[in-house]
Chain A
């Protein structure tokens, strides 16, 4: 199957700093990438959908100025958590699809801890 690499796998940062998470499709071109947040023992909450070269579409309740998404190429999308606070601590996971309406391939996820 296709490979999606997410980096870093875990990060600890101080409150008020920004953290960038990268999501790369290694062996295919991803037309669409999704960013999710997952709380312990809960489902994946869709945060935003990004298409290469266009602005991300954010879900209701997700602050676009807080969670900056850039999809600069067909193989790379980044999520920047700006001015992080402890309540932003969570597991962030990306996924990518080759074409519309096909299966999603997930990255390994990033465990963010804000102290």
Chain B
């Protein structure tokens, strides 16, 4: 079945630094979505990428969808304490939306 792998599982970042989380699917995806879950909360939708090679930006967050539509990345620049949480990628294939393991981000001031 469809599997979505995400690395790293944990990311401890100095405030102001950049980091990237990567997502890979075992199958070609129709789209990929990114969510953020704060501790104790539920996942909140960030963005959806549909086209091969697509790049989207949201302020300090840059999302990319690979040419083969099997991988994606989220890059955060100048990390802030508000970026704390777990970032999940979710790949859609047919009717299914399968989540990666998530990258839990902690920030040291």
Q: Chain A interface (Cβ within 8 Å of chain B)?
A: 1, 32, 34, 36, 41-46, 49, 51, 57, 59-60, 93, 95, 97, 100-109
Question: Contacts A104-B33, A104-B97 given; 18 further ones with Cβ under 8 A?
Answer: A32-B95, A34-B97, A43-B6, A43-B88, A43-B100, A43-B101, A46-B98, A49-B95, A49-B96, A51-B95, A93-B43, A100-B95, A101-B50, A102-B48, A103-B48, A104-B43, A106-B42, A109-B42
- Chain B, interface size category, equals 20 to 34
- Tell whether, in the assembled complex, residue B95 and residue A93 are in contact, meaning their CB atoms are under 8 Å apart: no
- Tell whether, in the assembled complex, residue A105 and residue B95 are in contact, meaning their CB atoms are under 8 Å apart: no
User: B46 to nearest A CB, angstroms?
Assistant: 9
**A-B contacts, 9 listed (Cβ < 8 Å):** A1-B45, A34-B97, A43-B6, A44-B99, A93-B42, A95-B97, A101-B30, A101-B50, A106-B42
Kindly list chain B residues whose C-beta atoms are within 8 Å of the C-beta of A49.
95-96
Distance A42 CA – B103 CA, assembled complex (angstroms): 10
Distance A8 CA – B57 CA, assembled complex (angstroms): 36
> Considering the complex, which residues of chain B in the window 83-109 have a beta carbon less than 8 Å from any beta carbon of chain A?
88, 90, 92, 95-102, 104
Does more than half of chain B's interface fall in helix, strand or loop, or is it mixed?
Answer: strand
- Tell whether, in the assembled complex, residue A104 and residue B88 are in contact, meaning their CB atoms are under 8 Å apart: no
Given the known A-B contacts A43-B88, A44-B99, A46-B99, are A106 and B44 also in contact in the complex, defined by CB atoms under 8 Å? yes
B31 contacts A by Cβ under 8 Å: yes
CB closest chain-A residue, reference B6:
A43
Distance A109 CA – B38 CA, assembled complex (angstroms): 13
User: B52 to nearest A CB, angstroms?
Assistant: 15
Distance A95 CA – B4 CA, assembled complex (angstroms): 18
Q: Of A46, A51, A105, A107, which contacts B45 at CB under 8 A?
A: A105
